[in-house]
Amino acid sequence: MSRTVDEKVHQKKRQHILKAARQILLKKGYSNTSMLDVASAAGISRGGLYLYFSSVEEIMQTILIEKDQHRFDPIRAAIIDKQDFLQVLDQYLTIQKQRLLNISKSLLMSGYEYYAFEKSASSQEFLTKSLADTRRTVLGLLMLGVDQEKMHDQQIEDLADYCILTIEGLSLFCYLHQADEKYINRQLALLKKTIMNNKRN
């Protein structure tokens, strides 16, 4: 019983640290954030922080996994369940829309800093895995359309890469220029049109 309570306390403290770290990263960026900054923001000692995380890099990776990659878990589940392709596609684009509308509150630039400045084997492995996971999700979505005969499989991998690059470029544009909802709607509608142009005749 006490072990369960201790685990809950540990997880609550861990989430508190991640929340504080996210605010510091938003304010200072990845390269200017230290473990002392995070500890101060979380209201704990630096030694106490090291009981939960070994570095700012580990904190950054955890935030990217928990806040970004898990965002598309419903899409992955829908693909596994073989739900209707058009509905899953609309769900995917809706999730992207909400992300883009709130991009100013995201760690987009801190993420770019992390990928640009961290050259360790672990960071490169993390980047490779993140890109592979993203590509697997988008390709899985498109293959759902192929399996349901809503699309053909011609250049399907290239189309998946195009979708990823389009969303990435749109993310950066929205972050820098604070694009409004109408603009985002138009761009996502164009992306959907491009995807559906690959449909079966």
pLDDT tens, position by position, 135-157: 999 999 999 999 999 998 889 99
Residue 39 has pLDDT above 50, yes or no: yes
Q: What is the spatial distance between Cα 92 and Cα 74, in angstroms, rounded to a whole number?
A: 9
What is the reported pLDDT for 137? 95
CATH architecture of 2-54: Orthogonal Bundle (1.10)
Domain residue limits, the chain: 2-54, 61-196
Q: Looking at residue 120, what is its pLDDT?
A: 84
| Burial class for 25, CB neighbours closer than 10 Å (0-12, 13-18, 19+) | buried
Q: Quote the percentage of the chain above a pLDDT of 90.
A: 71
Global pTM reads 0.85
Top pLDDT among 74 and 119 is at 74
Q: Output the pLDDT for position 58.
A: 94
pLDDT at 15 over 90: yes
Roughly how many angstroms between the first and final C-alpha of the chain, as a whole number?
61
The pLDDT of residue 4: 65
Q: Report, as an integer, the average pLDDT of 164-178.
A: 94
Long-range contacts of 145-150 (CB under 8 A, 24+ apart): 145/85, 145/89, 145/195, 145/199, 147/82, 148/82, 148/84, 148/85, 149/200, 150/85, 150/86, 150/199, 150/200
* pLDDT value, residue 34: 96
Is the pLDDT confidence value at 33 over 90? yes
